[in-house]
Structure 1
Amino acid sequence: MKKIILLIAIVSIALFGYFSFLPEKAQIQRARAIPNVVVAKVEVMPIRDEVEALGTGKAYESIIVTSKVAEIVNQINFDDGELVEKGAVLVMLRNDEQKAKVAVAEVKLAENLRELDRIRALVTSKTIAELERDRLQSLIDTTRAEVEQANAALHDRIIKAPFSGRLGLRQVSVGSLVTPGEQISTLDDVSKIKLDFSVPERFIQELKPGKLVEASAVAYPDRVFKGVVTSIDSRVNPDTRAVIVRAVMPNSDFSLLPGMLMKVKLIKQSREALLLPEAAIIPIQNNHFVYVVNADNKVEQVKVTLGIRTRGWVEITNGLEVGKQVIIRGILKVRPGDEVKVQQAENFKFAQVEGTEKSA
């Protein structure tokens, strides 16, 4: 019995000693465990307000190469997809009959001119009435018109490129009969591309010629094509409540083709702003806060006002100054007043941050 009482006493003393020193040990451990956090300095960076839309590329100039007359094809001077200059002869149609008509009209004109020369002296001497000279002059004018008409019909048999561009696939062969409106090929000026896209009507006040656009195509995922807004449609579509905007983009290497679907970013505004990663924002009811590390490496809670939100970024319009260190990782490990060890974030500063709104 005495042994049991002695054992109980020893255990009680041990437990009393353990619990007496436990808070002190815990405080020592807490004092030593200073949390590590990742911070980023608040900096001014470029930010863009932009609208995203889908657009369709069109050739700057585009025609269907066709004939004005029904005639047999004598000669074809182009290959599929060939680049041609303005004025290049593409197709020659049979023109023997037109050449003969031109020759006849020129002969008649020359004869009438000679006749006019002969009677001028007679008119001067009153041998022939002036009426005869006037009749002959009218005949000469008519013959000149016939020459021009014959030459026009001859030129209609020569199909030329009205502008420089790239030809499409050839649809006719030598010896085939072409008729007015029948497609011989296509000709597109793709040195520049017109890009048409829809923008919601709520942005109409901000739409002006000269606004910059950036576009990308599925065929070129790593390229950004830049252009300028040149015109805005005069009507809003009553079904979509959107207006068509047209931009023009250089295409000197002919990478873009008419008909391509492109993702467009219309840059409404570009400016400088204070930016932070969204991970730094602590929402509490209707307010927003950040944890700032002061000069003593202590955490301070600061209320901020937010501006534009974008992909992982947020604009700070009030509450912070340039150079402040804001915790962006490790927020859950600290509270206001805690001492922390800071580590600077890598790749925090980007060349440009985009604020995007998608069009309807």
Structure 2
Amino acid sequence: MKKILLLIAIVSIALFGYFSFEPEKSQSQRPRAIPNVVVAKVEVMPIRDEVEALGTGRAYESIIVTSKVSEIVSEINFDDGDIVEKGAVLVRLRNDEHKAKVAVAEVKLAENLRELERIRSLISSKTIAELERDRLQSLIDTTRAEVEQAKAALNDRVISAPFAGRLGLRQVSVGSLVTPGEQISTLDDVSKIKLDFSVPERFIQELIPGKLVEAHAVAYPDRVFKGVVTSIDSRVNPETRAVVVRAVMANADLSLLPGMLMKVKLIKQSREALLLPEAAIIPIQDKHYVYLVDQDNKVVQQQVTLGIRSRGWAEITDGLSVGQQVMIRGILKVRPGDEVKVQQAENFKFAQVEEIEKSA
């Protein structure tokens, strides 16, 4: 009886094991689903080496409008923010006294010239010595200098714009006394803007006039202002280890103002290169790899050498060639040698170029 019970127990355990492990066994024998991955063909695309910095905009020409002399303001010919041409009269100071001095000097000059004309014939006939003629000539020269001096003093009472530009706020009124150095207003030529920014000294060898720059201002987030490097400072700041670079940008619509903080990108070099999204790069220790898909739709691991990186993109300097299919999505689902279903990335090139243009 015990033997029969033991036999029944063994058969029950065997049947239980069979039915318990059979589904799992059948499940393990099911074919693995072929994963879908997204690939892109390797192509040559534009890339730019650039240096980012913060810069301050300055007027191309800028002065504080002031007077050379102390005098009462008699006339003001501008309003706040006016745009004026070169030579435009901005302020006139009281000048009656100096007009009179010019008139007196001119009368004296005319009288001396008439006197010289009268004695010319007498000198020719030896009636008057030539010494008298020389005395009159010296007097005429002196009087001419007095006329010029009086006219210069009169011109100092007229304050004009030395160049075309935009005026700032008016600081004086008619009837007020102005003194030398006192600010009447400001005048800025903002048809072009000087942009000064600092660049680390390690880039000095690549800094030459003519390099292109692109700048963004907080006030105009959707605009890109382009300019050209015109000069590099002759000294490196010993505290920051940077050199100041100056670029000039066109400002035809006068949208930029002096003093604006701008984010600058100095384009050191523009060239063609192989670029991939950084998501396609697989770092393993100190090396980098990508997954290629061959003609049989099999995954192949390929070591690559990276160049510069910029905003999610990586330059490939070695390891890939144009036309190869690189996996950019689905990398975590596969291993080298796996078979995959390939889907081409849409507008890969367009998206890349657009991103580079925005980031550069």
TM-score calculated relative to the size of structure 1 = 0.94
Q: Is the 8 A contact 1:47 1:355 kept in 2?
A: no
Q: State the one-letter code of the partner of 1:238.
A: P
Structure 2 gap segments, 5+ residues each: none
Deviates more, 1:213-222 or 1:10-19: 10-19
Identify the residue that residue 11 of structure 2 maps to in structure 1. Answer: 9
Identify the residue that residue 55 of structure 2 maps to in structure 1. Answer: 55
Q: Is the 8 A contact 1:307 1:317 kept in 2?
A: yes
Q: State the one-letter code of the partner of 2:353.
A: A
- CA offset at residue 283 of structure 1? 1.2
Identify the residue that residue 106 of structure 1 maps to in structure 2. Answer: 106
In 2, distance between residues paired with 1:345 and 1:153?
Answer: 78
User: Cα deviation per residue 1:267-304 (whole Å; 9 max; x = unaligned)?
Assistant: 11111110111111111122111110111111111111
In 2, distance between residues paired with 1:14 and 1:238?
Answer: 83
In 2, distance between residues paired with 1:123 and 1:8?
Answer: 160
Q: Secondary structure at the match of 1:29?
A: coil
Structure 1 gap segments, 5+ residues each: none
Extract structure 1 runs of 4+ deviating beyond 4 A: 1-8, 17-25, 354-357
Identify the residue that residue 196 of structure 2 maps to in structure 1. Answer: 196
Identify the residue that residue 43 of structure 1 maps to in structure 2. Answer: 43
User: Cα deviation per residue 1:202-256 (whole Å; 9 max; x = unaligned)?
Assistant: 1110000000011111111111111000000111111111111000000001111
Q: State the one-letter code of the partner of 1:226.
A: K
Deviates more, 1:138-147 or 1:6-15: 6-15
User: Cα deviation per residue 1:69-103 (whole Å; 9 max; x = unaligned)?
Assistant: 10100000000000000000000111100110111
Identity of aligned residues (%): 80
Identify the residue that residue 280 of structure 1 maps to in structure 2. Answer: 280
Q: State the one-letter code of the partner of 1:121.
A: S
- CA offset at residue 36 of structure 1? 0.8
In 2, distance between residues paired with 1:156 and 1:150?
Answer: 10
In 1, distance between residues paired with 2:29 and 2:44?
Answer: 41
In 1, distance between residues paired with 2:23 and 2:59?
Answer: 84
In 1, distance between residues paired with 2:150 and 2:6?
Answer: 137
In 1, distance between residues paired with 2:108 and 2:247?
Answer: 55
Query: Structure 1 pair 70/21, CA: closer, same or farther in 2 (3 Å)?
Result: closer
User: Cα deviation per residue 1:170-228 (whole Å; 9 max; x = unaligned)?
Assistant: 00000000001100000000000001111111111000000001111111111111100
Q: Secondary structure at the match of 2:138?
A: helix
Q: CA RMSD in A?
A: 2.1
In 1, distance between residues paired with 2:15 and 2:239?
Answer: 86
In 1, distance between residues paired with 2:326 and 2:149?
Answer: 83
In 1, distance between residues paired with 2:341 and 2:16?
Answer: 38
Task: Establish whether residue 329 from structure 1 lines up as the match of residue 294 from structure 2.
Answer: no
Task: Establish whether residue 119 from structure 1 lines up as the match of residue 119 from structure 2.
Answer: yes
In 2, distance between residues paired with 1:235 and 1:87?
Answer: 37
Q: State the one-letter code of the partner of 2:77.
A: N
Task: Establish whether residue 310 from structure 1 lines up as the match of residue 307 from structure 2.
Answer: no
- CA offset at residue 12 of structure 1? 2.8
